[in-house]
Every structure is written in structure tokens, then in C-alpha cells.
Homo-oligomer: A and B are copies of this chain.
Amino acid sequence: MIYQDISGLFQTGKEHVGLHKIDLERSILQVSRVSEKLRENIVQNAYPFLTSVQETEDIKRLLPVLKRFSENLETIIVLGTGGSSLGGQTVTALRDGGVGFHFSKPSLYFLENIDPFTLNLLINHVDLEKTGLLVISKSGTTSETLAQVLTCEKLWAQKNLSPFFIKNTLVVTEAKSSPLRRFAQYLGILCLDHDPKVGGRFSVFSLVGLIPLMCANLDPLKLRRGGYQVLEKFLTKSITESTPALGAAALYALMMERGITQTVLMPYVDRLAPFGLWFRQLWAESLGKDGIGQTPIRAMGTVDQHSQLQLYLDGPKDKVFTLLGLEGKTAFEDKALLSSKDPELDYLDEMSLGSLLKAEEHATFQSLLQKGCPVRRLSFNRLDEEVLGELFMHFMLETLLMGTLLKIDPLTQPAVEEIKRLTKVYLTEAKKVK
């Protein structure tokens, strides 16, 4: 279970830019008001990306499909970008560590970009006969994903491996006619339906997150169970007993009354490194609208203590911090205790890497507090699918609540649609010049 400590968000001295008690109380009232409507909508299934955590049937249906798809594969390349990719990256980090290791089979590579150098590097180093492609695009019109899959089709064909391309590809897209859907149908590639009511950045509990998770032999039911626990508490308990409701109240007050324009998420667990990227999209795309918005920053403890903390502590007081960390035995379970014969390293003797990591998190928390920066902590006593599910649900609800408080529709992304249109215009113009 995740535990939230917001004590560090309150003003503790003249320099501290955090909350007064009264700010939070006022904000809690506002959250109460907007929560009523949100709860009602959730119960009436207006947000299937949340309520899907109660389902199990879809997972049962998925099992045989994935067994057939992945059982002979050494490598799976996920083609997709943004919300089609970040959820999958985040869940598979539980197995792979979150720092770019590809040691387990099948290896999962998330090819988000269209840089030809990168694609060639990857294609030239995998065995194409044992490589699967998982192609994800909600609309079926995402240029980058289509360009990736068209390029791959060509590369496979050049090596006379088209039958493997067709057999080893799995497409996830909406059940309507689209370039991706037509492409898959034309070639006879298996297509699964992307729920049209589940937007990319909110899709981690759907097929989009579950397929990579299941390909990595992790447990989808546990992930959903974690999500359900946080959702259920929000639906049935008071605002102060629900971590995302209380969190949203505090963050909203900090933003509106203390001019906090940036929110830093800083996990002290490598496996949560992609979670920071997932959160960054969720917060930025959902809340950055109409001149409003708060810039999400993904930091990593301890790494960014040596890269960003100088600015965080001593620069402008425009940030709120959320530290994520393991607590209790699991955090220290590494048995290799440190030892040196060096008197200057006495402080490390008999400690482990895990305990040093905790001490650094503690030191960062205290330093932020002392320097007057608002900081909260989310902690958990293990990190598995269930806790990850809780974290996903926590931040999705917090984002929805913030959006409602800010009077922004958190489910759209109008400005990005314009870029997509412009890209097509430039490409068409470029072709005319040719």
C-alpha cells in the first residue's frame, strides 16, 4: 500500500513557500465539491480507463492470444509513441530495471522515435525471424507509428522474411477503418481493438499496458488489483483518506496561492525511472491548456542529486517535490554490506547500497525542507505489480482532480493535433518541390 506524507508541504519557517493550514482546508472543500461529480461519473462508467481495473474477463481472453504471439520470440519491438509506449515501458521496468537493460527474454524494445539511425541499429542486431512487432496506435493514423511499420515491412521483405513479419506482428488500434487497420487487414495481421474511450496517456490498465506487461511475464491481475484499491478508497472514503484527493488539494493550493509552476517527481527506485516519464506526459498533456499548466519534471534519486539538486535547493522557489521511495525491509534487502578499512569511510561500514539510498532520500527531503521548498513523500514497503497499479491510479485521479479544479478538460490535447496537421502540410509541400 502506498503511504503519503504531506507534512513537508506546509510552511515551517519564513523562507518556506509552502501551505498554511487554512490554504489546505479551503482547497479540501473545493476538492470535495468536484469529487462528488467525478465519483458519480466514475460509477456510471464514464471513465472506462479507471473502472477497467475491476475487469478480469478481458485478461483471460488475452492469455491465449499472447501465448501464441510471444512464445517463440526472442525480441519484441513495440512500435508506438507517447501514451502508446510509456505505460508499457513503465510496467516492464519491474522486470528490466528501468535503466535500459534488455537481459530477459523476450527482450522488449520500445522504439518511440523515427530516427533512421536508431531503427537500423536495432534491426541489424536482432534475429528478425524471432522478432515480434507490437504496433500500437489508438487512432490508427499516427504518422510516426505508420512510418515505422511501413519501414519494417520493407526491411523484412528485403530479407525475404515477409511471412515472419505477418506472423509475428500484433496490432492494437480502434475498431474502425484507419490506415493502420487497413494495412493490417490487407496483410492478414492480427488486430486487437483499442477501446475508443481510453486515451493514450490513460491507457496503462488497458491492452496497451497489459500486453507488454504480460509479454514480460508479469501479473496483470495484480496491477489492476492495486489500481482498484486506490479507486475504491476514492469512491468510498473521505477526501483526506484518499491519497490522490488529498494530494490534489495540496498541489492545487500550492499552484494557485504560492505560484508553484513546476512539479518534480523524484523516485529513489531505478525501476520507477520510466514511471517519471509516464507521469510527465500525464501531467503535461492533461493540464497544459488555455495558458494554464504546471511543468512536470522527472528527476531520479540519487542520480539527480548530482545534476539538478543545486538548482532545486538554491534556485527560484517555483517547484513542489514528490519523492517516491521504498520503506521497510525491502529497501535494504541487499545482503552485501559495505566495508572498507578507511577511517574516512566509517559512515559506510556495515551499511548496504539500499541503506545508503534511503539515507540520501532522507537527506534530500530534509535539505529541501530546510531550504523552504515544499516536499511530499509517497512510500511503499515493496515494489511489485500491485503497488505500481496503486501509483498509476493515484496519479491518474490526482490529474483528473487537478484538471477539474483548474476548469480544464484533462482528456484532450488540442494543440498537438495542430502539429499533426502541419506535419502533413509540410510533407506534402516538400513533395511538390521535389
Which residues in A have some Cβ–Cβ distance to B below 8 Å? 81-83, 86, 96-103, 112-122, 125, 141-144, 146-148, 150-151, 154-155, 178-179, 182-183, 186, 200, 261-262, 268-271, 277, 280-281, 284-285, 287-293, 295, 297, 300, 302-303, 305-319, 333-334, 336, 338-342, 344-348, 350-357, 359-360, 362-364, 366-367, 371, 413-416, 418-419, 422-428, 430-431, 434
Contact = CB atoms under 8 A, between A and B. Distances in A.
Nearest to A313: B415
A315 B336 contact: no
A362 B426 contact: yes
Contacts of A290: 314
Given A122-B101, A297-B295, A359-B423, A314 B415 contact: yes
Closest 4 pairs between A and B when the two form their complex, measured CB to CB:
A288-B311, A100-B100, A82-B306, A293-B315
Contacts of A333: 116
Contacts of A359: 423, 426-427, 430
B270 A292 contact: no
A418 B309 CA distance: 11
Contact of A280 (B101, B308, B341): B308
Contact of A357 (B114, B268, B317): B114
A354 B289 contact: no
B340 A183 contact: yes
B113 A97 contact: no
B116 A261 contact: no
Contact of A141 (B293, B316, B344, B357): B344
B426 A295 contact: no
Contact of A315 (B147, B292, B314, B351): B292
A112 B182 CA distance: 45
A372 to B, nearest CB: 10
A114 B353 contact: yes
9 contacts: A113-B357, A114-B356, A114-B357, A119-B353, A120-B334, A150-B339, A280-B307, A291-B317, A293-B316
A291 B307 contact: no
Contact of A144 (B293, B295, B356): B356
A311 B419 CA distance: 13
